[in-house]
Structure 1
Amino acid sequence: MYSQHLLQVAAITAISSFVFANPVPLREPIDNLPRGLPLVTDEILLLDAPAFKSGEGDEWIASFRMFTHIRQIDSEIVSSALTTAIEALGIEIGNKASNVLERSKLFFAIPRSGIEADLDVVGCLSTSVGETSKTGLLEQSVGIGACVGSLKQRTISGSVPGFFKGRSFEALLFQSIPTGFGVISDVDDTIKVSHVLDKKKNLQAVFVDDHQAVNGMPELYSKLDVELGNPAWFYLTGSPYQLYPSLRKFIFDTYPKGPMITKNLTFTDFTNMFKYVADDEILGNYKITQLEKLRSFYPEKKFITIGDSTQADPEVYAEIARRYPDSIQCIFIRKVDDADNREERFITAFQGVPQSKWKLFTEPSEVMGLDVASGQCS
C-alpha cells in the first residue's frame, strides 16, 4: 500500500516523538495484567463481520475480528508530536489536526491479551468469542444459528464479562448465501485517492486530508450494486487495522456497505513492519490468502474483483482466476498514473486467463456500459 520510504519517514518520526512524549513502552502488551479480566480503561474495536451458510443446512457462521487495548490516555500528546513531525516534512495540517489524532491513536494503543467477548447478533443466537492474542487481536469463526428473518445486514452488540460488563460496542454482520454475485474491491487508489506512489502525498492522504473518492467510482459501484442484484461487497486492503475506523466511515458514506478486511499489523512486529506493509510479494500473498478464505465462505458465488496497477492487484486477481476460473466473473484494473502500466506486465500477469475476463481502465466510464451480470467484462 505505502512505499517503504514513506513508512520509514512516518514511523520513525512518529515513534521517536512518542517515546519522548510517553513513558509507556510502545505497543508492548502488559503481561502482568490478569488475562480475561478486562480493566475499566480497556477499549474494544469490533470489526464488521461476513456471515456464510454452514453446509446444506440453515445454520450460519460468522467470521469475527476484534482488537482489545488499553485506552490511550495521552493520545493527544502523541497526536501533537506526530503533527509536529508531519509539518516538519512540509505537509500543511491546517484545521485537520482531528484527523491526525483519530487516525494515529490506534498505532500507539497497548494491546490486551486473553480477553473474551459476548456477542449478540440481532435475530441470531448469542455467542462468545475469545481469547485475544498477545497482540490484542482475535479472529474466529463461530456458529450463530439459523437466524430469524431474511436480513442481509444485522447489528452485532458486544459486551465483555467482568468490570467491563455493561459497556457495549457494536458492529455490523453481513449475511450472504453461497450463490449469486460478490464484489471484492481494493481500497487505496482503487476507490480512495491515496497517492500510493508519491511518498509525501501518501502520508498526507493517510493521516491528514479528508478521504477523497476516486472520480467516478461511487457511480460505478452504485450501478454494479443495482445490476448485480444487491451483491455481497467486500473491501480487501493492505492497510493495517489501525486505520479501520476512518476507512470504514469513508466507505459507508460513499460506497455500498460491506465488511472490510485489513492487515493484522502491530508494532510488536516492528522490526518487520516495513517489509510486511511495503513488500509487493508479502502483500500479494496476504491478499491471495484472504481471497481463498472468501471463496471458501462462498464457494458458488461469481466474484467481480476490482483493483489498481500500483502494486500486486493484477497478479493477485489473475492467480485466483487461474485457480478458480468458475469463481471469477470479471477482473477490472484501474491504471494509475506513474504505476507500472507496461503492456508486458499485464500480458505476463494475466497469462492463462481469458482476455474476455479482464479489463484495464483509466476512467470508470470505460466500465459503466458493460453488462457485467451477463459476463461482459471487456
Structure 2
Amino acid sequence: MQQRTRKERRFDETERDLPDLSGRVSTATVAPTTLDRFWSVLSYLGKKNPLPRPITASDTVWLLDNTAYRDAKTGLWEAEYVAAMFSQHSSSAIIDAVSAIADKIDLDECDPARGTHVKALYGGKSLLKLGPSGHNGISSEVKKLHGGKDGEVVPTVARVPEGANGLLEMKTFHAEAEGWGVISDVDDTIKVTQTSDPIGILRTTFIEPPEPVPGMPELYKHIHALIKPTSSWFYLSASPYNLYPFLREFREDHYPHGTIILRDSSWMSVRGLLTTLTLGTEDYKVDRMEKIHSWLPKRKMICVGDSTQSDPEAYGEIYRRFPQWVKAILIRKVEDIAAIGIEAKNEPERFEKAFEDVPRDVWHVFSDPDTCKKLIDDVVSKH
C-alpha cells in the first residue's frame, strides 16, 4: 500500500529533483582541516571510535528525553540515552540543499558533529559520557543509573563549553515495572498532516505550524487521568532526529510527557528524506515496539495510530508477538480520501487483514476521538 501511494503521488519524480549529498565533499566557509577529516573517518566506527572529540563552543547538542526501567536481573535502573550533535557552521553543500528545495521546507542548516562525545550530569551529580556519535551525528547507548524512584522525573544536563547551544537538558522518566503504558503514532494520529503529496509532506513536516488533531489532546488527557501519573508514554514517529526540537515542543504544548522515538537518520540525505518518512515504517515501528517491550514487558499497553500508513499492520503484528502485553489498539480513520491517496486504506478488509488473529474487542477504528473514552474506561476497568 505504501508503494501504491508513492506511485500514485509520483514520489520518485520528486525525490529525483531533490539534491543528493552523499557523494559531495563539505566545503564550509572554513575548509575542513586534516584533523576534521580524521574525526569524520573515525565516526564510521560508531561506539568503537577510539578517539572521539569533545564538544566545542561551535557545536550544537540535543539531549533527548528518555524512559528509565529496571533491569530484570539486577533490579537496577538503566535507560537508553540518545544525543544528537551538530556543528553550528553550515557547509555550502547544506546551503545548496536548502536552496534546491526552493523555499518549500526550512531546516536547521547544521552539519553532523561526527565522532563527538559530550559529558552530562544525571540528577546533578552522576557524570555520564554520551557518545561518540556516528557519521549522522547521533549517539545511542544504554546507561546504568544510580538513584531514581518509580514515577520520578530526573533531569540530565549537558556540560558544554560557553558558546555551545541546543537542548542541553533532558528528562528521564522512571517507569515502574507494572501498570499501564501508551504507544502513540504522531503524524495524522495526534498531529495534522493529512496529505500523501510529496511536497505537501515536506511542507506539513517542516514549515507549517503544527496543529493537534481535533479531539486527541482531550482523549489523551482522559487516558492520562485514568491510568495513573506513573504510566509510561511513548511517541513513535518515522521522522528523522532533526525534527526532535519541533516535536518535543508540540508534545509539551498538547500532550502528556513521554519519550519521543525517531529514526536514526539525518536530513543530510535529502533525496532519501521522503523515503524515510513513507517507506519501511511498519518494520521500523515493530522493531521499536519490541525494544519498548524489552524494557517494560509487564506493562499493559494501549496503542494509538491512524489509517494513513502502516499503524494497523504494525500494531497487529506486535499483538501477535506479545498478546498479553497489548490490551487495546485504537486506529483513527483519516477520512479525507483526496488528501491521503488510496481509498483502500480505510476499507474494512484492510483492517480485518491487519488484525488477523487479534480479538475483535481489542482493536477499534474510530473517527471521533470522543467515542474512545468509554472504550478506554472499559479496557482499564477490565484489566
Fold shared per TM-score above 0.5 = yes
Query: Matches of 2:273 and 2:207 in 1, distance apart?
Result: 21
Deviations 1:4-60 (A, max 9, x none): 56866776666489x99x9449xx995234732333211111111111112265521
SS in 1 for 2:145: strand
Cα deviation for residue 270 of structure 1 reads: 5.9
Does the 8 Å CA contact 2:20/2:271 hold for their aligned counterparts?
no
Q: TM-score, normalised by structure 2?
A: 0.81
CA distance in 1, matches of 2:133, 2:54: 12
C-alpha spacing 1:123/1:14, structure 2 compared with 1 (3 Å): same
TM norm structure 1: 0.82
- Percentage of pairs with the same residue: 28
Distance 1:212 1:167, change over 3 A: closer
Hey, what's the Cα distance between the residues in 1 that align with 2:364 and 2:299?
20
* Letter in structure 1 aligned against 2:141: Q
**2:238 aligned partner:** 238
Residue aligning to 1:297: 295
Distance 1:132 1:40, change over 3 A: same
Matches within 5 A, 1:185-200: 185-200=184-199
Q: After TM superposition, list the pairs within 5 Å mapping 1:317-356 onto structure 2.
A: 317-337=315-335, 338=337, 340-356=345-361
Question: Could you tell which deviates more after superposition, 203-212 or 314-323?
Answer: 203-212
Specify the SS of the correspondent of 1:126.
strand
CA distance in 1, matches of 2:54, 2:113: 10
Query: Which amino acid in structure 1 is aligned with residue 225 of structure 2?
Result: V
* 8 Å Cα contact 1:329/1:375 also seen in 2: no
Aligned to 2:38, the other structure's residue is in SS state coil
Give the conservation status (yes or no) of the 8 Å contact 1:6–1:200.
Answer: no
Quick one: which of 94, 99, 118 aligns to 1:81? Answer: 99
**Is the CA contact (8 Å cut-off) linking 1:67 and 1:132 kept in structure 2?**
yes
Deviations 1:159-201, CA, capped at 9 Å, x for gaps: 25x8989998111111101100000000000000012324444
5+ residue gaps, structure 2: 40-50, 338-342
- Structure-2 change in CA distance of 1:305 and 1:135 (3 Å): same
In the alignment, structure 1 residue 364 sits paired with structure 2 residue 362: no
Distance 1:8 1:252, change over 3 A: farther
1-side partners of 2:281 and 2:164: how far apart? 38
User: Does structure 1 conserve the Cα–Cα contact (< 8 Å) formed by 2:54 and 2:118?
Assistant: no
Aligned residues: 351
State the match for 2:37 in structure 1: 31
Alignment of 1:1-378 (within 5 A): 4=6, 15=19, 23-24=27-28, 30-33=36-39, 35-55=52-72, 58-73=75-90, 81=99, 84-86=102-104, 101=106, 104-105=107-108, 108-122=109-123, 125-147=126-148, 152-160=152-160, 169-230=168-229, 231-266=231-266, 273-279=273-279, 282-337=280-335, 338=337, 340-370=345-375, 371=377, 372-375=379-382
Give me the whole-angstrom Cα distance separating, in 2, the residues matched to 1:201 and 1:250.
19
> 1:214 offset after TM fit, Å?
0.4
Conservation of the 8 A alpha-carbon contact between 1:309 and 1:335: yes
Q: Contact 1:192 / 1:213 at 8 angstroms: preserved in 2?
A: yes
